[in-house]
Amino acid sequence: MDIADYTTTVMETMKGLDHGAVQRLIVAMKDVRSRDGAIYVFGNGGSGAASSHFAEDVGKMTIPDLESPKGRYRIMSLTDNSPYLLCLGNDLGFESVFEQQLMNLARPGDLAIGISGSGNSKNVVRAIAAAKRMGMTTAGILGYDGGVLKGMVEIPVHVRSMDMQVCEDLHMHIIHQIVKSLAYG
């Protein structure tokens, strides 16, 4: 595939995004903030990088007043503590690295956002299952056919593509849509 074909593919896939689902995630994030709850984001590989980027953008780009702690989003990417991930992965298995962090940190009413290109990442699936048991709101930014996660999360934001790079490109687009809305809306 040449670059022009790839760009066309991304643009055509973008036309199929469910903006209503993105809006529902924005509303859920605002609701959590209004209750002083926390948001936990997680994923593997490129989705893990997107998770870090998402937390950084929401944490910085939405600050209403640099001098005040009020109105800020309490958001954390569970991919960012390498020693913790390695400890949990080594001692308990990689499938538990996000679930166990949520069990230590999260509270009922918090928001868990799993990012997965396939929608089937075992550690993301387990974390979402734990979040549901804990009374958290759950969302997924997903690709491919949505995988197992599409039917598990309350708010599925789904990129309908079987191409991982297209999914990852549009996942970042969705993240930036959310950040812009939170910062200016």
Mean pLDDT of 24-35: 97
Tens digit of each residue's pLDDT (9 = 90 or more) over 120-165 = 999 999 999 999 999 999 999 999 999 999 999 999 999 999 999 9
pLDDT for 185: 66
CA 93 distance to own-chain centroid:
22
Supply the DSSP symbol for 97: H
Tens digit of each residue's pLDDT (9 = 90 or more) over 41-75 = 999 999 999 999 999 999 999 988 888 888 899 99
CATH class of 33-184: alpha beta
**Domain spans of the chain?**
33-184
Q: Give me the residues paired with residue 139 across strands.
A: 113, 155
* The pTM of the whole model exceeds 0.95: yes
What is the C-alpha to C-alpha distance for residues 40 and 59, in angstroms, rounded to an integer? 12
Tokens of 90: 């080594």
Tens digit of each residue's pLDDT (9 = 90 or more) over 3-22 = 899 999 999 999 999 999 99
Please give the C-alpha separations between residue 127 and each of 42, 60, 96, 123, 157, in angstroms, as whole numbers: 9, 25, 7, 6, 17
Q: How far apart are the first and last CA of the chain?
A: 38
Indicate if the pLDDT at residue 1 is higher than 80.
no
Tens digit of each residue's pLDDT (9 = 90 or more) over 82-125 = 999 999 999 999 999 999 999 999 999 999 999 999 999 999 99
B/e letters for 117-150, b = 16+ CB within 10 Å, e = fewer, are bbbbbebbbbbbebbeebebbbbbbbbbebbbbb
What is the C-alpha to C-alpha distance for residues 88 and 72, in angstroms, rounded to an integer? 30
